[in-house]
Amino acid sequence: GVMEKLGLGPEVLLQENPRLIYARLTGFGQTGKYAKSAGHDINYLSVSGVLSKLGRKDENPYAPINLLADFAGGGVMCAMGIIIALYERTRSGKGQIIDASMVEGVAYLSSFLWKSQNLGLWSRPRGENMLDSGAPFYETYKTSDGKFMAVGALEPKFYEQLMKGLGLDSDKFPSQMSFSDWPKMKKKIASIFAQKTQDEWCSIFDGTDACVTPVLSFDEAASHQHNKQRSSFIKNDQEEISPRPAPLLSRTPAVPSFKRDPFIGEHTEEILREYGFTKEEITKLYSDKVIEFSKPKPNL
C-alpha cells in the first residue's frame, strides 16, 4: 500500500498510461490472510510447502540461505512476469498489473515436486529419498584434507562409474536401489572418500561420467579450469569477483560492467541535479534526512 499512499498506485498510473506494466513483488501477494504481514524468505518458503521437503533425516527443515523464495520465486518469477506482459502488450497494446507473490513463485518453481509425488521419488520421510540426501549416490562426502566432493550418480551407468572410481565391486555391493541398505552404503562410501584429498579424487573422476565433482568455495570456483575456460566469472576494477551475466546469448551477449558497485547515496546529488532540483532544494532534502550522500574517499 506504500505506492497508493503516495498517489502512485497502479490504477492511477494505468489511467495516465494504459500501456504501463506495473509489477508488485511481495512475499505473500496482494490478497489473502497474510497479505499485510511481514515475512522473510524462510516464511514464504514455509507457507509454500517447499520448506517441509528440505533437510536431512531426523533434523528440522532447513532453509538454504535466502535464494529460493527471495531470488528465484520472487525476483526471477517477477522478471518473467514482466517479460510475459511485455510480449502480450505487442498483441493487445495494453499494460497490466503483475501480482508476484514469493510464496506462489517458489511453489510454482517446485512444480516438479508436486507433479512427481506419485512416482515414488518422495514417498519416504524427509531426508530418506533419492534427491534429499537419503541416497548414498546423491550426497556430499568429506575428503582427507577437510574438503568435499559432490556425488550425483543417479543413472545405473553413472553409478557403475562411481563404483569403479571408488574401487568397489558393484556385484559385491548392495543393489543401488536397496533403500534399506542406503545408510550402510553411505558409511562405506564416506570412509573411502575420507582416504584421499579433494585433488586426488578429482584426478580419478575428472573426465568420467561418474557425476562426481569438487565442492568449490567462491574463490576456487572463480579459478577452476572449467569456469576459467568459459570466463564464467569476472573481476571489476577493484579486483572483486562476481559471476558473469547468464545465460550467454550468441548474438547479443550481455556486456558486464567492470566498475565497482556504487555506494548508497553516491550519485544522489548528481541525479537530482539532472532532474532539475536546485542546490538549495537538495540541501533541504539532505537536512530533512529524506536523502543521504556517500562520497567515496580518495586513495592517497
What is the set of active-site residues?
40, 70
Beta bridge partners of residue 100, listed in sequence order: 25
**Are the CB atoms for 25 and 74 separated by under 8 Å?**
yes
Percentages of the chain per state (helix, strand, coil), in multiples of 5: 40, 10, 50
Question: What b-and-e string marks burial along 149-179, b requiring 16 or more CB atoms within 10 Å of the CB?
Answer: bebbbeeeebbebbbebbeeeeeebeebeee
Question: What b-and-e string marks burial along 204-229, b requiring 16 or more CB atoms within 10 Å of the CB?
Answer: bbeeeebbbbbebeeeebbebeebee
3-state DSSP assignment of residue 153: coil
C-alpha cell read off for 20: 504501463
Q: What is the DSSP letter of 147?
A: -
Q: What is the DSSP letter of 179?
A: G
**Distance in angstroms (rounded) separating the CA atoms of residues 37 and 102:** 13
Q: Which amino acid is at 164?
A: K
